[in-house]
Protein backbone atom coordinates (compact mmCIF):
# COMPACT_ATOMS: atom_id res chain seq x y z
CA UNK A 1 0.00 0.00 0.00
CA UNK A 2 1.39 3.39 -0.98
CA UNK A 3 1.60 5.98 1.75
CA UNK A 4 -0.27 9.23 1.43
CA UNK A 5 2.08 12.19 1.01
CA UNK A 6 1.14 15.43 2.73
CA UNK A 7 2.99 18.72 2.82
CA UNK A 8 3.05 20.86 5.91
CA UNK A 9 1.61 24.27 4.93
CA UNK A 10 5.07 25.81 5.40
CA UNK A 11 6.65 23.19 3.13
CA UNK A 12 3.96 23.77 0.53
CA UNK A 13 4.66 27.51 0.64
CA UNK A 14 8.40 26.89 0.26
CA UNK A 15 7.88 24.60 -2.72
CA UNK A 16 5.54 27.10 -4.36
CA UNK A 17 7.98 30.00 -3.80
CA UNK A 18 10.86 28.01 -5.31
CA UNK A 19 8.71 26.95 -8.27
CA UNK A 20 7.71 30.58 -8.94
CA UNK A 21 11.33 31.72 -8.65
CA UNK A 22 12.36 29.18 -11.30
CA UNK A 23 9.32 30.04 -13.43
CA UNK A 24 10.36 33.70 -13.57
CA UNK A 25 13.64 32.58 -15.08
CA UNK A 26 12.67 29.56 -17.20
CA UNK A 27 9.54 27.48 -17.76
CA UNK A 28 11.78 24.46 -18.35
CA UNK A 29 13.56 24.92 -15.05
CA UNK A 30 10.25 25.32 -13.20
CA UNK A 31 8.85 22.17 -14.83
CA UNK A 32 12.04 20.25 -13.98
CA UNK A 33 11.87 21.44 -10.37
CA UNK A 34 8.23 20.37 -10.07
CA UNK A 35 9.00 17.01 -11.66
CA UNK A 36 11.88 16.36 -9.29
CA UNK A 37 9.75 17.19 -6.25
CA UNK A 38 7.06 14.78 -7.48
CA UNK A 39 9.64 12.05 -8.09
CA UNK A 40 11.17 12.61 -4.66
CA UNK A 41 7.92 12.13 -2.77
CA UNK A 42 7.11 9.04 -4.81
CA UNK A 43 10.29 7.12 -4.02
CA UNK A 44 10.84 4.71 -1.14
CA UNK A 45 10.70 6.97 1.92
CA UNK A 46 12.78 4.97 4.38
CA UNK A 47 15.82 4.63 2.13
CA UNK A 48 17.00 8.18 2.80
CA UNK A 49 19.04 9.02 5.87
CA UNK A 50 17.57 10.05 9.17
CA UNK A 51 19.20 13.33 10.12
CA UNK A 52 17.37 14.38 13.24
CA UNK A 53 15.16 12.19 15.43
CA UNK A 54 12.76 10.60 12.93
CA UNK A 55 13.33 13.21 10.23
CA UNK A 56 14.58 11.97 6.87
CA UNK A 57 16.35 14.09 4.25
CA UNK A 58 16.09 13.68 0.49
CA UNK A 59 18.50 15.81 -1.54
CA UNK A 60 17.21 16.85 -4.94
CA UNK A 61 19.60 15.96 -7.76
CA UNK A 62 19.43 19.07 -9.94
CA UNK A 63 18.39 21.77 -7.51
CA UNK A 64 19.88 23.00 -4.22
CA UNK A 65 16.90 21.84 -2.16
CA UNK A 66 16.23 19.08 0.33
CA UNK A 67 12.92 17.53 1.34
CA UNK A 68 12.74 16.94 5.06
CA UNK A 69 10.02 14.50 6.05
CA UNK A 70 8.76 12.00 8.59
CA UNK A 71 7.29 8.59 7.86
CA UNK A 72 4.19 8.03 9.96
CA UNK A 73 1.71 5.15 10.10
CA UNK A 74 -0.28 5.91 6.95
CA UNK A 75 1.48 8.95 5.54
CA UNK A 76 4.64 10.78 4.74
CA UNK A 77 4.66 14.32 6.08
CA UNK A 78 7.01 16.71 4.30
CA UNK A 79 7.88 19.35 6.88
CA UNK A 80 10.22 21.46 4.74
CA UNK A 81 11.37 22.04 1.19
CA UNK A 82 14.59 23.69 2.30
CA UNK A 83 17.19 25.50 0.22
CA UNK A 84 20.48 23.89 1.21
CA UNK A 85 22.46 27.13 1.36
CA UNK A 86 20.07 29.37 3.27
CA UNK A 87 19.27 29.50 6.97
CA UNK A 88 20.40 26.01 8.02
CA UNK A 89 18.05 24.34 10.47
CA UNK A 90 15.29 26.98 10.35
CA UNK A 91 12.73 24.19 9.99
CA UNK A 92 13.70 22.35 13.22
CA UNK A 93 10.84 23.88 15.24
CA UNK A 94 8.19 22.30 12.96
The 10s digit of each residue's pLDDT in 23-34 is: 999 999 999 999
Nearest alpha carbon to residue 40 among 85, 81, 88? 81
Say how many domains are in the chain.
1
**In contact, 69 and 55? CB cutoff 8 Å:** yes
Q: Rounding to the nearest 10 degrees, give the CA dihedral for residues 61, 62, 63, 66.
A: -10
Q: Is the pLDDT of residue 17 over 60?
A: yes
CATH number at residue 39: 3.30.2310.20
Dump pLDDT digits (tens) for 71-94. Answer: 888 888 899 999 988 776 666 666
| Within a domain: 18 | yes
Q: Is the pLDDT of residue 61 over 60?
A: yes
Pairwise pLDDT comparison (18 vs 85), residue with the higher score: 18
| Within a domain: 59 | yes
DSSP H helical ranges for the chain = 9-25, 27-42
| Within a domain: 55 | yes
pTM above 0.85, yes or no: no
Dump pLDDT digits (tens) for 38-49. Answer: 888 777 666 777
| Within a domain: 42 | yes
Question: Which residue segment(s) compose the domain that 62 sits in?
Answer: 4-84
**In contact, 7 and 76? CB cutoff 8 Å:** no
Nearest alpha carbon to residue 71 among 53, 90, 86? 53
Amino acid sequence: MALLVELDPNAEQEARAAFLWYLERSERAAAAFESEIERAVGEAPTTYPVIEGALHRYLLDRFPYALLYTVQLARILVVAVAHQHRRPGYWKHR
